[in-house]
Chain A
Amino acid sequence: MNGEAKAGGQEVKMMKLDDLLQRNVYDVDEEPHIVVDYSKCDKCPTKPCVYLCPAGCYTLVGGRILFSYEGCVECGTCRVICPMDAITWNFPKSGRGIYFRFT
């Protein structure tokens, strides 16, 4: 909860991204709609996806990219910014994935 965000100048902390994503509604497909070719990621010098995927689907583990699609909000940023053309990107099938309500 947003319990820390008290009025009146008290210290407030950033939430973890995972906790933010918990607020969303998903119907996650068993089959990933995005496939990442890690061998290309290993050669990528900047890895902008780590910073710019709003859902944090791309994380660095021991210097290597690790991708998980479950929290994806289907924005398409990774597809556009990937300098290595390492991402096979599509929308989920059958209405699955993110379900926005208040956006």
Chain B
Amino acid sequence: MRIVVGIKWVPNTQAVRFDPKTGTLIREGVPSVVNPHDLPAVELALQLRDRYGGEVIAITMAPPSAMKGLEHVLGMGIDRAVLITDRAFAGADTLATSYVLAEGIKKIEKDIGKVDLAVFGQETIDSSTAHIGAQVASWLDWPYIYYVHKAELAREGVLLVERRLEDRVEWYEIELPGVISVAMKALKPRPVSLIRKIRVKQENPVIVWTNKELGLDTRCIGLKGSPTIVSKVTFTPEVPRKKVVYKPRDGLDAAVWLLEQLAKDEKAGKVIERAVRGEF
């Protein structure tokens, strides 16, 4: 199988702070990361390759700094990567982005060989649109399934995917070539491997394409090709949360622990007191 997996190089939103004085985002010194929701997609693609053979190609449309992110997924085991980078692509919304990615996949088919499957993450942490998978499928006119947790070949040319929803699990057969989006946290991404990363550094398996190679109509890409208008963004105040894991001995222990936690909080503590006094 030849699998293409889409990667987005995003600011680490956890570290981007909102300056209430100026109303802008403080991005200085904030490093970018591979969109965390893309990593289960990478993992699924790698598992399919490990099982059925072939290769996995990562594709991204990004500034050249995204090379660091490609190195990360190449270190996980991706075979090679395509970096589509050109000032002409800057300012793209999801429509223009998915168009370029779809054209990138077509060029992979032309230059390298037939693509069986394109895999995307569910959404990105910096914009959360969840558009890209569906739009790429539309541009390519390939079938599309999202919220995928598992996938295997049902038979030659047909992928069997498991899709988990809130109240049920669904199985679909999807004819290849096709597009799937992998659900957040569906799979645990494998760590970066020493030997893979050495190979990345030695062989630099990244192909760089600008619009010179892709030759796309400039009316369809970048800012010009982006009909989306962001009219206003407001930020909700940050609520610092401390994630804690407690392994209770039994249900009672869990309930007592939870009450103790809540009682420590000033506001929640008062509510509990009132509840104990039977004021509700």
In-complex A–B contact (CB below 8 Å): yes
Number of residue pairs spanning A and B whose beta carbons lie under 8 angstroms apart:
58
The reply to whether A24 and B243 form a contact with Cβ atoms under 8 Å apart is no
User: A3-27 toward B: CB 8 Å interface, digit per residue (1/0)?
Assistant: 0000000000000101100111111
Tell me if B171 is interfacial: C-beta within 8 Å of chain A: no
Establish whether residues A93 and B192, one from each chain, have CB atoms under 8 Å apart when the complex forms.
yes
A66 contacts the other chain (CB 8 A): yes
Binds A, one of B26-34, B79-87, B162-170: B26-34
Q: Are A62 and B260 in contact (CB under 8 A)?
A: yes
Chain B residue with Cβ nearest A26: B14
Give which listed residue, A19, A62, A66, A94, contacts B244 with CB less than 8 A: A66
User: In the bound complex, what is the Cα–Cα distance between A82 and B152 (angstroms)?
Assistant: 47
Chain B positions within 8 Å of A93 at CB level: 191-192
B244: which A residues are within 8 A, CB to CB?
66, 68
B contact residues around A70 at 8 Å (CB): 242-243
* Contact among A18, A62, A99 with B240 in the assembled complex (CB-CB below 8 Å): A18
Q: Please pick, from A25, A71, A95, the residue contacting B30 in the complex, using a CB distance under 8 A.
A: A25
Q: Mark A residues whose CB is within 8 Å of B.
A: 1, 16, 18-19, 22-28, 30-31, 38, 61-62, 66, 68, 70-71, 93-95, 99, 101-102
Closest 6 CB pairs between A and B?
Answer: A25-B15, A93-B191, A94-B192, A94-B191, A101-B29, A18-B240
